[in-house]
Every structure is written in C-alpha cells, then in structure tokens.
A and B are shown apart, each in its own frame.
Chain A
Amino acid sequence: GIQVEQSPPDLILQEGANSTLRCNFSDSVNNLQWFHQNPWGQLINLFYIPSGTKQNGRLSATTVATERYSLLYISSSQTTDSGVYFCAVERGTDSWGKLQFGAGTQVVVTP
C-alpha cells in the first residue's frame, strides 16, 4: 500500500514562532487531508488539499502532487496549536474515501 511519512516526528516551538510540517507519500493520490488532534483527542479537519495552496487564518497548506509531498505551515504559533498533526491520503478508485494516515507530528508550543 501507499506509504505516508511525516516529518519531523516531534516539534517544540516557542509561542510566536513559525514552523513547517512535511508529508511525503509514495504514490499518486486522489485526496490529501491535514488534521489536528488536540490534547483531548479530538480530531479537527484542517485542510482538504489534493493539490495547490490553501490558507485558513494562521495555517496554510501546499500540496505538490507531482512531487508527492505536502507542507503545512503554522505561523505565529499559539499554545492552542499544540497537539498532533496528521497527514492522510486516499488513492485510486478502489480506495475511494479510505484514508491512509501518517504517524503524525507532535507539536508542543510553549508560552
């Protein structure tokens, strides 16, 4: 199956700092999504981004499908940004709607 690799595995940021999280995937995909899992376990859908660039407040994401990677940018980080960020992909008509998750990037934002 498709491999999804996220880097770095862990990230510690001071409040106000910027950061970039990366997701590499091993094959072409129909869909890519970024999720944030907060410290209470809740999963929040951040971006549905099979290609191109999207922005939502301090977060933005870029997917370069031809080169099989996606980037999530966090600007002016806040303590509420702490948690685990997951990249998940879906590929092929036989995998329609079935996500393959990466292992996640654990982000800790300190005051």
Chain B
Amino acid sequence: DADVTQTPRNRITKTGKRIMLECSQTKGHDRMYWYRQDPGLGLRLIYYSFDVKDINKGEISDGYSVSRQAQAKFSLSLESAIPNQTALYFCATWNYGYTFGSGTRLTVV
C-alpha cells in the first residue's frame, strides 16, 4: 500500500456540487497538507494541519474547507465547486521531507 493514499484518483463534477477529496497516510506523521496544481504552474498550498486540533489556511484557501478526522486522515472539501477549481490536487505528509500522494485530478464542468 502507498504511504499516502488519495481518493478518488479522477473525478468529474458539476458546478455547484459539493465534493470531498480524501487522504490517508500510513507514515504516522502529524503534519499533513493539501496543495493544488494548475497546468504550467507549481503547487500552491490550500490548507495544512500540524495535528488533529491544529488546522491552518494556506495561500489559496477560499472556496475550500478541510477536516482532520484522525492523525492519518485529512479531507479536503469543495462546498460548491466552480470551474476554476479544476486542477490536480495533492495531499502530502511532512517529517523533514515531503511524501506526496498520487494526486486527484478534478474537473468541474
């Protein structure tokens, strides 16, 4: 099993729908992150969590929310999806080095 697992791998959703992207990790790391990647750009930080009770906004948190259900699980929600949220989304853990999940390719139509 992968150290950081993201589900789903691909998703197409309609404008206005609520969607949740899930992330789970087996590395036992406290710190978890959600990034998005747009074509031709590097990754940008959406939210991060240093432990279950510590959740922080990143540089592009508007339109997103997160939930840290346990040390191993960190979910990202789009409450009302819009087309410019079409992107590749990555979850990561950190412990003096990042481990990324395989990504979720989200398309909002």
A97 touches B43 (CB 8 A): no
Q: Which residue on A lies nearest to B42, using beta carbons?
A: A101
**Most A CB within 10 A of own CB, among B44, B59, B100:** B100
Report chain A residues within 8 Å CB of B103: 41-43
A97 touches B31 (CB 8 A): yes
Question: Contact partner of A41 among B33, B50, B97, B105, CB < 8 A?
Answer: B105
Q: Does A98 contact B (CB under 8 A)?
A: yes
A99 touches B100 (CB 8 A): no
Proximity string of chain A (92-108) to chain B, C-beta cutoff 8 Å, 1 when within and 0 when not: 00000111011110000
How many residues from B make CB contacts under 8 Å with A? 24
Q: Can you sample 20 A-B contacts with CB below 8 Å?
A: A1-B59, A4-B42, A33-B98, A41-B88, A41-B103, A42-B102, A42-B103, A43-B90, A45-B99, A86-B42, A86-B43, A88-B42, A88-B43, A97-B33, A97-B94, A98-B48, A99-B98, A101-B42, A101-B44, A104-B41
Interface residues of B (CB under 8 A from A): 31, 33, 35, 40-45, 48, 50, 58-59, 88, 90, 94, 96-100, 102-103, 105
